[in-house]
């Protein structure tokens, strides 16, 4: 159960857009539409931001969007705001197991 591969860090200026990738295999990301993204601020519990690859839960800003191509899922944040600075984790679910990405630290410059 290897972790999904994410870049360790990304950065962007307020108002810009950034994309975080999440690479797995055909056994997880590539073979599942149960892909999600979580945001975690320091000292806080994670928050669900995207599920089913590209759906947003109620209350999550439409600046957050998700997509998938092959074995790689992506999270795009447009119109960066200071409050977006956090760690982001992708997640893939398959019956009997679940795997997270290693996490990406987003810095808003």
Residue 21 half-sphere exposure, CB side, CA atoms within 13 Å?
A: 8
Site map 14..53 versus other proteins, x via CB under 8 A: --------------------x-x-x-x----xx-x--x--
| CA gap 105, 82 in Å, rounded | 13
Question: Residue 22, Cβ neighbours under 10 Å: how many?
Answer: 29
Q: Does 98 bind other proteins (CB under 8 A)?
A: yes
Size of the site for other proteins (CB under 8 A): 23
CB of 63 to other proteins, least distance (A): 20
| CA gap 25, 71 in Å, rounded | 5
67 near 73, Cβ under 8 Å? yes
Q: Does 85 bind other proteins (CB under 8 A)?
A: no
Site for other proteins, rule CB under 8 A: 1, 3, 34, 36, 38, 40, 45-46, 48, 51, 57, 87, 89, 91, 93, 96-103
């Amino acid at each position: 159960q290897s972790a999904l591969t994410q870049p360790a860090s990304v950065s962007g200026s307020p108002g810009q857009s950034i994309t975080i990738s999440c690479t797995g295999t055909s056994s997880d990301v590539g073979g599942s539409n149960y892909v999600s993204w979580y945001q975690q601020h320091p000292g806080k519990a994670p928050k669900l931001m995207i599920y089913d690859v590209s759906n947003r839960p109620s209350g999550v800003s439409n600046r957050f969007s998700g997509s998938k191509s092959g074995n790689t899922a992506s999270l795009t944040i447009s119109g960066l705001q200071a409050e977006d600075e956090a760690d982001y984790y992708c997640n893939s679910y398959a019956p009997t197991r679940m795997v997270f990405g290693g996490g990406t630290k987003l810095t808003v410059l």
